[in-house]
Structure 1
């Protein structure tokens, strides 16, 4: 394997070095990345943005039985031999173009140590790579460039569970091929071998565009531009430092009322900043709406919390376009041009009074031309959406949700996903699928929702960076609230006629959840889109606990399993499991796990009057549950209960007549083994005991 190749140039400078005249260069791309005006116009020179990824190649036709294939790792364009080396081709694109985002995560065979094999970037047909080195070191290890252009996620996340992001652009004049080589086994889908998950966003410019190809010499030459970009992305300029016109938008908003400010002339909004006060601030963040009309057309309608990337809880974080401060000030620096007039309205759709204790709108001149675009933001919510509703079918319960479809010409620039998860399981197995200009197959198809947002392995830790952030991951693998943000600069997606953004929703559990994306794009006048303002959803009470979405089932007269005293246990552990799905009584059960064959669990339950009873047990079945024997007060009532099922379900099991005594009675569970098809975890779950005295 090749050793490390030191491509490091990191000194800080604020002077852009010379570039090839009229050409796309590394320096010009870095300048474009931090020039907020550029994204508000159609790109010139024009380009398309596509994605190469390790998505499962069995996903061949939208809606087909294989569309939900999910082994999204170690799939490549092809495998080729180069000078005796076996190289797996991640991407091979004809130019002129530029790689503008590279995300990856990985593990070795069987989930073991990753080999950190050699990545090579070949440009313009040259047999010698312009970049070569260990892939982890190149993407987020600082070998090419330091943070934030090279960025893993939270340092609190174990390294093996991190997503890794490289935003340093790699331009090329004619062609770019990226390969990976390792000495360990690689098989499609990584069933046995090393797993490499990757997403590469790349631009392809219109023919005739001059592009200066990347090289180590150019990287050294560009160290001043790199330093300037790094400094700007690390500490975006504070709100209010620009020489701009400023208006205020403050005051009381009673229920159903609004406040507005109008700006006239050929200008652009360059900053919005608000602070809200309300008795229920979380509800106010959802039910208070940002509405903006440009030149007579409303293009922005979004709950204020979602618009600023924090959802319906204040979660301080900072990105290139947005900022949420610890003192609850919401700021954004999207550039929003218009020809004649803009009207910004803050509308209170809720039932409580809201105070705009602070509100500033900054604007400045704009030279409107044939490339200028209006800024758009739309929001929609699927409240109480059912997941895994078709777990017995071949699609595993996965389905695509259309976040937005736009007709017209423009550029897609980002999104914020706010949700409340009700199960102790990962909600984001699904992949993004983005169709540009009427494509029958998406030119962007991903490897998982968390990968799209820059992290990996459903990790809950907070992280923030210039273009991707997780202000909250509290609801990632347990019930709770999560919000993810992705904003685009060089990886913005232009469209000439249309764009359709679908996200696959694939939860690990059959449950219900609230799921709300906000989408952001620029478009030329006359564009249309399919998301209308939804007042009812914005007014809907936000979910703070599971029971706000899933009302607990109550079995009348039952003794809840989670309340029982454990009298004896020969192995494993017992705990109360929140299981707000499948109609469990009280949304909880007594959960026994980490036990083995012949282990025994005894729980005690009270009875007021001795006699013969009809008894029903609420039990759980799942893929990793065992076969058990059940006895009441020492008398076997079920010789064998098989808890195996491919999906998680609750079942009511009636026992033969049971003789119970006044006071304490004992239910004894013995693990006998497991179904041949089951995962050998031998779990057991007791939802409730219902005992009804038999009449004589």
Structure 2
């Protein structure tokens, strides 16, 4: 139906409110008419209100004629960007650098630290890249509401209040000098920040490899405050794929036994879906900056600006890795961002290794005829065959994989090809998997039963070598048959897992 002018005006007002209110909600409300403006209005809604303080900028500008507007940081050295005395709020922080000598993962090996009100332990300690939302020490252009990396410049707009002093440093942990570090740090000065203002914190952690059965700790702190963001860069170290993304976020507030925040998957937490179905993206509060399916890497950011997580006594933030029991073996590097009261607990030490950690090679049994390999030419009279990645499971499977036979019925047969180098008698070993939903198989060669393999176990485990006896093989192709024979009464299914076979003298 036609819309009236008043209806259009009302709709426009609602749209304006929808656009403005979320921004205003991130800081204190606008002061009523006749009242002094409140501290913290870092958005368009507060620009028309008079401020009593001033803005000063610490920067790398040249102090003398003929110098460049940049600083050098020698290897192993630390420089102080800001040493401010008095109350204020860090409003803007910009950095870039020109590096004439190539330094591997330079952005990961420059360490940012912030100290508020004379504290001896920093409230911010993180590699430069992770602090500005970038994983793996790599540059990727992106823009979010509080931080961004755009056309060579790092930008941060997190408000960072302090009552007495602020000190910001950068440490160079590389082997060579940083030739030209440019920076601007803007501070809004004032007589004092409001009572109850919380201090800004950012903490970097890394665990590689992750521990089976244990989630990754992103943050564990005591005090009162609110959690406002996570940066994650993760990579599979054993096996293939991005199965670590199956893990959920868990947030425990004030010592609770069950998490008040429990998610549905890591990529869901970072605002995407189905392992980042359509690729990388950026948005104001969440994004994916790295989605590398060839090297099994993921990096993303998630800001809790519209949904900060408050706590009064303590906070613990965890990320699961894997679908079931934190089974994925991966490299997890995280940045936690939050505001809280002082004093804060001392941060754990930064990891010794900040650079790239390469995946481990797959476990191999010498001489193994891998059941899942094309050379084995597996086929089945019933059910389906697929290669199953076993790298995330306890135990060792050759090639970190097995051939999985599913949906078969008793009497169905699976055929495997064994190529003998010459006609003679060999010893034959088989390697299988046992689990709670696995069935039993008869192993047959040339019409002779070699063994019956019992598939049941309370948990998934490799059998190791099972001696199948001595067999006569002709040179070239020989056919080995596995016949589904039934199952243990305790087994819940008829699955079969075959790692492979090995010939011996």
Which TM class, normalised by the smaller chain length?
0.7 to 0.9
Do 1:626 and 1:671's aligned partners in 2 also have CA atoms closer than 8 Å?
A: no
Partner Cα distance (2:168, 2:256) in 1: 38
**Residues 681 and 654 of structure 1, relative CA distance in 2, 3 Å threshold:** closer
* 2:351 corresponds to 1:359: no
**Residues 555 and 641 of structure 1, relative CA distance in 2, 3 Å threshold:** same
Partner Cα distance (2:189, 2:56) in 1: 12
* 2:121 corresponds to 1:296: no
1:471 aligned to 277, 289, 293, which one?
A: 289
Aligned to 1:434: 252
Q: Give the drift of 1:311.
A: 1.6
**Residues 494 and 250 of structure 1, relative CA distance in 2, 3 Å threshold:** farther
Partner Cα distance (2:212, 2:30) in 1: 43
Partner Cα distance (2:103, 2:413) in 1: 50
* 2:493 corresponds to 1:672: no
Specify the SS of the correspondent of 2:349: coil
2:233 aligned to 408, 418, 423, which one?
A: 418
Matches within 5 A, 1:306-321: 306-312=130-136, 313-321=138-146
Aligned to 1:233: none
1:519 aligned to 336, 339, 342, which one?
A: 336
* 2:491 corresponds to 1:499: no
Task: Map Cα deviations across residues 448-473 of structure 1 (whole Å, 9 max, x no partner).
Answer: 34354444565554343222223345
Partner Cα distance (1:324, 1:628) in 2: 58
**Residues 491 and 663 of structure 1, relative CA distance in 2, 3 Å threshold:** same
Do 2:437 and 2:493's aligned partners in 1 also have CA atoms closer than 8 Å?
A: yes
Q: Give the drift of 1:416.
A: 1.8
**Residues 407 and 652 of structure 1, relative CA distance in 2, 3 Å threshold:** closer
Aligned to 2:63: none
Do 1:308 and 1:332's aligned partners in 2 also have CA atoms closer than 8 Å?
A: yes
Structure 2, unaligned stretches of length 5 or more? Answer: 1-6, 32-43, 46-54, 61-68
**Residues 408 and 590 of structure 1, relative CA distance in 2, 3 Å threshold:** closer
Matches within 5 A, 1:584-623: 584-585=396-397, 587-589=399-401, 591-593=403-405, 596-597=408-409, 598-607=412-421, 610-613=424-427, 615-622=428-435
Aligned to 2:497: 684
Aligned to 1:448: 264
Q: Give the drift of 1:380.
A: 1.8
Task: Map Cα deviations across residues 465-485 of structure 1 (whole Å, 9 max, x no partner).
Answer: 22222334557xx98222332
Specify the SS of the correspondent of 1:386: coil
Q: TM-score, normalised to structure 1's length?
A: 0.55
**Residues 466 and 671 of structure 1, relative CA distance in 2, 3 Å threshold:** farther
Q: Give the drift of 1:377.
A: 0.8
Aligned to 2:38: none
* 2:404 corresponds to 1:580: no
Aligned to 1:286: 108
* 2:464 corresponds to 1:641: no
Aligned Cα root-mean-square deviation (Å): 4.2
Structure 1, unaligned stretches of length 5 or more? Answer: 1-5, 18-25, 46-227, 230-242, 389-398
Matches within 5 A, 1:183-582: 245=57, 247-248=59-60, 255-265=75-85, 266-269=87-90, 270-274=92-96, 281=104, 283-297=105-119, 298-312=122-136, 313-325=138-150, 329-339=153-163, 341-350=165-174, 352-353=175-176, 355=178, 359-367=182-190, 368-369=192-193, 370-388=195-213, 399=214, 402-421=217-236, 422-423=238-239, 424=241, 425-436=243-254, 439-441=255-257, 444-450=260-266, 451-455=268-272, 459=276, 461-474=279-292, 480-496=296-312, 498-503=313-318, 505=320, 507-508=322-323, 510-524=327-341, 526-536=342-352, 539-545=353-359, 547=360, 552-561=362-371, 563=373, 565-567=375-377, 569-570=379-380, 578-581=389-392, 582=394
Task: Map Cα deviations across residues 652-693 of structure 1 (whole Å, 9 max, x no partner).
Answer: 14133222446435352434266477676845332x433331
Task: Map Cα deviations across residues 614-656 of structure 1 (whole Å, 9 max, x no partner).
Answer: x322323456655433234554322x33445564432214133
Q: TM-score, normalised to structure 2's length?
A: 0.73
Specify the SS of the correspondent of 1:466: coil
Partner Cα distance (1:318, 1:361) in 2: 18
Partner Cα distance (1:383, 1:583) in 2: 19
Partner Cα distance (1:44, 1:629) in 2: 78
Partner Cα distance (1:431, 1:339) in 2: 34
Do 1:380 and 1:531's aligned partners in 2 also have CA atoms closer than 8 Å?
A: no
Q: Give the drift of 1:518.
A: 1.6
**Residues 602 and 402 of structure 1, relative CA distance in 2, 3 Å threshold:** closer
Q: Give the drift of 1:521.
A: 1.7
Task: Map Cα deviations across residues 301-327 of structure 1 (whole Å, 9 max, x no partner).
Answer: 0122322222214444332112234x5
Q: Give the drift of 1:500.
A: 1.3
Task: Map Cα deviations across residues 194-227 of structure 1 (whole Å, 9 max, x no partner).
Answer: xxxxxxxxxxxxxxxxxxxxxxxxxxxxxxxxxx
Do 2:226 and 2:308's aligned partners in 1 also have CA atoms closer than 8 Å?
A: yes
Matches within 5 A, 1:31-50: 31-33=23-25, 38=27
